[in-house]
Structure 1
Amino acid sequence: MTEWKRKLAETGVPPESVGWAAFERTHSRQSEGSDEREWINSRAHTVAENYTKLSQERDSQRETDPSSSVCDNDSLFIQAAGGFDKKGRVFGYGAAASRLKPTKRSSSDIEDVSADEMKKMKALTAQMTQEQERMLEEQEKMRQMMIQE
């Protein structure tokens, strides 16, 4: 059993639900003579700071705009840890990262787009199409003028 799995087992957190709590438990230790915990290395400290900052930003975004689409905790942690490496791993997630790796989504998979955003995109597309048609007509007129000269 690896050190990570041993520490994870001690936390009582099942491996399939790895997250911030497990990272905090497996990447920090009790300070001697204190109730506070310290990070095991500078990378763990940096990830913790990034996660805390991203989490606070997400929470403040939820307060200002409850309808906004926000990241789940796993996505925040992956972002805080610097994303997936070349082998598909995330610092602090161990082997559990493979279940989090994003799959390729088809262009028809648009559940993340709200109805309001979709309306705005359609309106913008229509506006751009009209502008393109106008420019093509103008270009054709200029071409005809050049031919006549």
Structure 2
Amino acid sequence: MSNRRNDEFQRALDEARRQDRALGDEGSGPAGGPRVRARLEFGPAPGSGGEARFGLALEWTDEPADRLGRQAPASTDEAPPNLADTPAEIAAELGLAGPVTPDQLASRWRNFVWRNHPDRQPARERDHAGARVAIANALYDRARRELAKRR
């Protein structure tokens, strides 16, 4: 029985190919519309480097610009913003001074990393952003362990 199904299937494929070839001669596709064949090439978009996309990344976040803490630099000659890079300052930025729930802690950490991740920063600020995220990760891990001990 399966051999019969295979034969029927093969005949249906052959018939479809014949119809496709016949329609191809007329310049129309299988549905009666024009047949379109195009070669698409995807490459880097103009201005697709990190600095060009930094502003775009900030535009589609849900956070208002004033909460993000900084904007894309206007030019490459502009000095990077003076961001806190000590553990105490980053802990304050994460809001670890007061009591937090595990959900609040995770949310604050994710928001911080989202805003400060090196891949989202202009090239000249990536090293500094990497150091800030590393400190935030260490503070987050420590706070998570302390919350787990209290349970």
**Structure 2 length as normaliser, TM-score?**
0.27
Higher strand share: 1
For normalisation by structure 1, the TM-score amounts to: 0.27
Instruction: Decide which structure has the larger Cα Rg and report it.
Output: 2
